[in-house]
Amino acid sequence: MSGTAVRRVQKELGDIRKSPNKHIKVEVDESNVTHWDVKMDGPHGTPYQAGTYGMTVDFTNDYPFKPPVLKFTTKMYHPNIDSDGNICIGVLKTENWKPATKIVSVLDAMYELLGHPNPDDPLVTSIADQYRNDRPSFEKTVKEYINRVGLHVPSTFWQLWFSTYYDLTPRFQYAK
């Protein structure tokens, strides 16, 4: 990767670390600053609020002149995110990308999109149609999907504390 791109990525990473967003966590292996692992809390007041969602950010050699590649690693039910984790969002489209765009703005836009899908520019038209025409059914399906794939985060401080300080994995298995 070009030195210019690496310096830009390092600067943006430094900016994110100085002013972190409590809903978006960025993890970076310092030996490869061009690949980020991101965890994003579901926006409060949306059907996604019960989950934490993973994504990767990969910066290309052409960054910042071309957008980074973002991909969700967590499976989800969303009109703008397909089953492979590909994302449809205006800011990442080549025709809309500007070199001055900061990755923090892209992550903020992703957080906004997670809570407020754009059914007019979907990757999954059937989900977009459901979102547009039957919102209660859409929200119910999102919640069922979260339950099915196990995206729950601890709902109370004590559950989080307990699971952090005590290893809850079973010490034995029952014979069948």
pLDDT > 70: what percent of the chain? 84
- Judge whether 175 lies within some domain: no
Per-residue pLDDT at 151: 61
What's the CA gap between 44 and 50, in Å, rounded? Answer: 8
The answer to whether the CB of 41 falls within 8 A of the CB of 47 is no
Confidence of residue 145 (pLDDT cuts 50, 70, 90): confident
Mean pLDDT of the chain, nearest integer: 86
Q: What is the pTM of this model?
A: 0.82
The reply to whether 170 falls in a domain is no
| pLDDT confidence of residue 34 | 94
Q: What is the mean pLDDT of residues 114-131?
A: 97
| Total number of domains constituting the chain | 1
pLDDT of 170: 38
In a domain, 125, yes or no: yes
Range 114-126 average pLDDT: 96
Confidence of residue 147 (pLDDT cuts 50, 70, 90): confident
| pLDDT-wise least confident of 30-39, 40-49, 155-164 | 155-164
What pLDDT sits at residue 135?
97
Write out the DSSP string of 77-110. Answer: -BTTB-TT--B--GGGSTTT--TT--HHHHHHHH
The percent of residues above 90 in pLDDT, for the chain, comes to 70
Task: Mention every residue, 6+ apart, whose C-beta is less than 8 A from residue 36.
Answer: 13, 26, 27, 28, 56, 57, 58
Place of tokens 């609020």: 49
Per-residue confidence (pLDDT) for residue 35, from 0 to 100: 95
Cα torsion 62, 72, 156, 166 to 10°: value is: -90
Q: Which range of residues forms the domain containing residue 139?
A: 3-165
* 142 in Cβ contact with 127 (< 8 Å): no
Residue 48 lies in a domain: yes
Assign 1 a pLDDT band (cuts: 50, 70, 90). Answer: low
Catalytic (active-site) positions: 88
Predicted confidence band of residue 70 (pLDDT cuts 50, 70, 90): very high
Say if 57 falls within a structural domain: yes
**Which string of DSSP letters, residue by residue, matches 22-86?**
TTEEEEE-TT-TTEEEEEEEPPTTSTTTTBEEEEEEE--TTTTTSPPEEEE-S---BTTB-TT--
Cβ–Cβ under 8 Å, residues 101 and 91: yes
Torsion angles phi and psi, residue 166, rounded to 5: -130, 125
CATH code of the domain covering residue 144: 3.10.110.10
* pLDDT score, position 146: 86
Please indicate, yes or no, if residue 173 is contained in any of the structural domains: no
CA–CA gap between residue 106 and residue 119 (Å, rounded): 19
Give the model's pLDDT for residue 163.
46
